[in-house]
């Protein structure tokens, strides 16, 4: 019989962030992950405090960045890998009207720290941008694939990772502990992403799923040292290699790549760049999303030692460390959760489920 403070189910961005809270506070834990859902592995990994479609601030952007960036620095030191690549995001303008909307937004106190007031003229002959760009500040990319791969190795080295599916029906729940096979734990945190649809304890929560696909291209002539947001994101990865994404598919729930997504991304890319490129990879994953665009964090309404950490959507890189800290303080220090993220807002659905 093995005794731990926590069992964590799922080891993507959310699970890793919660593991880091436990490590920081010297709590013992075991993680179950069978790599069946790869949203974190295929994510673009961008952190960006501005909603670029509407020129508005991301929910709790300042709080998220203040927690996330130091956490990723800690992970870089722990894993001895480079994860954080600081790069500006250039938002391509399609008209003078969009330029004016940018100026109006950048004057707002909530956005002035994140939006440059200068219009950047396009000097790259391989990019179609006659109206120039708006520059977003405090942005960059976390190499999520490298993070997940190396963090799993770290957990395995410390005998903290169990690579097998979690069987929810095997869980025994008592008042002050839970038991799973030969493991006894005080608490269990489900950070399963899209896999939550098979979780009998939290399946009542309104988690949606959007399949996303990205392609990786080799474009030797592009020579772009910033992240470009147009009809697609174009993200520099290494010399002459860029990722392009992403698609949204609300029907397909598989991790299989599709010709349709490839065609969509290539068609959009060809409206943005003029140079030749070669597709060298394509990947797909399922994003867990919530209708009200807020995460699903909190305690089960019936079982006091069951918790959920989910629904981070497309902003998992920024959000995961922030919500993991919120959940840890809620469990261990009885600090109330922010009402916008607390699953209490869906208690009626949970009780039906």
What is the reported pLDDT for 197? 87
* Top-confidence residue, 162 or 253: 162
List C-alpha distances in Å: 53 to 102, 193, 281, 296.
Answer: 11, 25, 27, 24
Coil/strand/helix, residue 54: coil
Task: Give the integer Cα–Cα distance in Å for 232 and 53.
Answer: 12
What is the reported pLDDT for 345? 93
What mean pLDDT is predicted for residues 65-78? Answer: 98
Element holding 42 (H helix, E strand): helix 39-42
Please, what are the domains in the chain? 2-43+145-206+292-352 (3.50.50.60), 86-141+208-289 (3.30.9.10)
Kindly indicate the confidence band of residue 254, based on its pLDDT and cuts at 50, 70 and 90. confident
Neighbours of 234 (CB within 10 A): 24
What is the reported pLDDT for 313? 83
What is the reported pLDDT for 81? 98
What is the reported pLDDT for 34? 84
pLDDT at 98 over 60: yes
294-308 in b/e form (b: 16+ CB < 10 A) is: bbbbbbbeeeebbbb
Here the tokens at position 296 are 């699903």
DSSP state for residue 346 in the 8-state scheme: G
Lowest mean pLDDT: which of 19-33, 81-95, 215-229, 276-290? 276-290
**What percent of the chain stands above pLDDT 70?**
97
List C-alpha distances in Å: 122 to 50, 85, 239, 273, 282.
Answer: 21, 23, 21, 12, 29
What mean pLDDT is predicted for residues 119-142? Answer: 97
Task: Give the integer Cα–Cα distance in Å for 16 and 155.
Answer: 10
β-strand partners of 307: 189, 299
Task: Give the integer Cα–Cα distance in Å for 151 and 10.
Answer: 12
pLDDT at 279 over 90: yes
pLDDT at 40 over 70: no
pLDDT at 334 over 70: yes
The pLDDT tens digits of the residues spanning 206-237 come to 988 888 899 999 999 999 999 999 999 999 99
* Top-confidence residue, 209 or 242: 242
What is the reported pLDDT for 36? 63
Coil/strand/helix, residue 35: coil
Distance from the Cα of residue 123 to its chain's centroid: 32
Kindly indicate the confidence band of residue 204, based on its pLDDT and cuts at 50, 70 and 90. confident
Kindly indicate the confidence band of residue 1, based on its pLDDT and cuts at 50, 70 and 90. confident
**What percent of the chain stands above pLDDT 90?**
82
What mean pLDDT is predicted for residues 15-23? Answer: 98
Task: Give the integer Cα–Cα distance in Å for 283 and 216.
Answer: 9
Distance from the Cα of residue 140 to its chain's centroid: 13
What is the reported pLDDT for 310? 95
DSSP state for residue 195 in the 8-state scheme: G
Instruction: Please report, for the chain, how many H helices and E strands are present, in that order.
Output: 8, 21
What value does the mean pLDDT of the chain take? 93
């Amino acid at each position: 019989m093995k005794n731990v403070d926590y069992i964590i189910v799922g080891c993507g961005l959310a699970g890793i962030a919660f593991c880091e809270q436990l490590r920081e506070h010297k709590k013992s834990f075991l993680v179950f992950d069978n790599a069946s859902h790869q949203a974190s592995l295929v994510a673009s990994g961008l952190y960006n405090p501005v909603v670029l479609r509407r020129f508005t601030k991301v929910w709790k952007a300042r709080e998220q960045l203040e927690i996330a960036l130091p956490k990723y620095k800690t992970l870089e030191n722990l894993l001895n890998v480079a994860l954080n690549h600081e790069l500006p995001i250039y938002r391509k303008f399609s008209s003078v009207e969009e330029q004016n909307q940018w100026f109006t937004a950048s004057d707002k106190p909530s956005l002035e720290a994140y939006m440059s007031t200068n219009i950047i003229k396009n000097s790259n002959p391989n990019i179609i941008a006659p109206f120039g760009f708006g520059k977003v500040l405090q942005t960059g990319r976390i190499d999520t694939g490298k993070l997940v791969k190396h963090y799993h190795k770290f957990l395995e080295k410390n005998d903290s990772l169990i690579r097998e599916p979690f069987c929810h029906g095997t869980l025994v729940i008592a008042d002050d502990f839970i038991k799973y096979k030969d493991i006894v734990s005080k608490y269990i945190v489900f950070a399963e992403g899209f896999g939550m649809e098979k979780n009998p304890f939290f399946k009542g929560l309104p988690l949606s799923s959007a399949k996303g696909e990205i392609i990786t291209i080799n474009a030797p002539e592009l020579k772009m040292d910033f992240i470009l947001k147009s009809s697609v994101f174009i993200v520099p990865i290494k010399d002459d290699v860029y990722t392009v994404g992403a698609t949204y598919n609300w029907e397909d729930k598989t991790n299989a790549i599709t010709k349709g997504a490839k065609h969509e991304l290539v068609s959009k890319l060809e409206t943005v760049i003029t140079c030749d490129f070669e597709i060298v990879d394509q990947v797909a994953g399922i994003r867990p999303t919530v209708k009200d665009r807020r995460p699903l964090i909190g305690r089960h309404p019936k079982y006091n030692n069951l918790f959920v950490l989910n629904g981070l959507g497309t902003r998992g890189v920024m959000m995961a460390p922030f919500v993991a800290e919120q959940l840890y303080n809620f469990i261990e220090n009885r600090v109330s959760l922010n009402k916008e993220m607390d699953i209490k807002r869906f208690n009626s659905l949970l009780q039906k489920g």
